Structure 1
Amino acid sequence: MMPSSSDTTEAMPAAAGPREASTSATPVLDLVLKTLEDAKAEETVSIDITGKSPLTDHMVITSGRSHRHVGAVADQLERALREAGYGKPRVEGLPHCDWVLVDADDVIVHIFRPEVRDFYNIEKLWSAEFTD
């Protein structure tokens, strides 16, 4: 994967730091964002942490409307990554579906129910740590 020199997304009005998902510089991130959009995930943000964390290059945070929707989004994302040749991502948080993490190496995706997302507020944590 080639590192991105700049974040090409638009600023999210509700929170300082994270970026609202739009276009990206990597094919796997593009696939993730497109799949989340197709799955009707809500309030998707992408945080570019390239070179700032050994964990990943991009953190994507999104919401599903219910337990069932969170699980369906995770399943659809896992299937899309496999079909595109990225292998089987590591998935944590099923079957509860309050917070599901999909680890696709260069992109880590957090899929939350809205109230769980509000409680943990990881956008603020990651953006405060890596965007200053």
Structure 2
Amino acid sequence: MPSPAGASGDSLSRAIQTVLTSLEGSKAENIVSIDIQGKSPLADHMIVASGRSHRHVAAVAEHLLRALKEEGFGAARVEGLAGADWVLIDSGDIIVHVFRPEVREFYNIEKMWAAPDLEDETLH
């Protein structure tokens, strides 16, 4: 499975644009794009979005999976599609979270990734 980034920044940029275009086309709400390069070994980028209902979350996720495959990024790994409260799509260097609004508010993962790095703070 080809990685959406790995080879070049252009590939990562193209993958991010594919994800954002797919989410917007599916009418996902409150889309937030977070650069996590150097903050996590899991990925270089995280995108968080909301769907209005279980059905909408599932449709947004399925549309995104199709878009990634059609654009040549391979089959992404997916978790949570059956329940559709919180669907995680891992396409390699980009992780996408699609939540129902109540679940997103409860976990508030954007706030966690916006926290300052402990290594960046000087302790006296």
| TM-score, scaled relative to structure 2 | 0.84
Question: Which of 105, 110, 114 matches 2:92?
Answer: 105
Amino acid of the residue matched to residue 49 of structure 1? I
SS state at 1:27 partner? helix
Q: Which residue of 2 aligns with 1:63?
A: 50
CA contact (8 A) 1:100 1:111 kept: yes
Within the alignment, does 1:29 sit opposite 2:5 as a pair? no
Question: Which of 61, 74, 81 matches 1:94?
Answer: 81
Unmatched 5+ residue regions in structure 1?
A: 5-24
Q: Equivalents in 1 of 2:28, 2:50: separation in Å? A: 6
CA contact (8 A) 1:3 1:50 kept: no
| Higher Rg of the two aligned structures | 2
More helix by share: 2
Q: Equivalents in 1 of 2:115, 2:33: separation in Å? A: 14
Unmatched 5+ residue regions in structure 2?
A: none
**Matched residue count:** 111
Q: Identity percentage over the alignment? A: 60
Instruction: Return the offset for 1:127.
Output: 1.2
Instruction: Return the offset for 1:51.
Output: 2.1
Q: Equivalents in 2 of 1:129, 1:101: separation in Å? A: 24
Q: Which residue of 2 aligns with 1:10?
A: none
Instruction: Return the offset for 1:3.
Output: 4.6
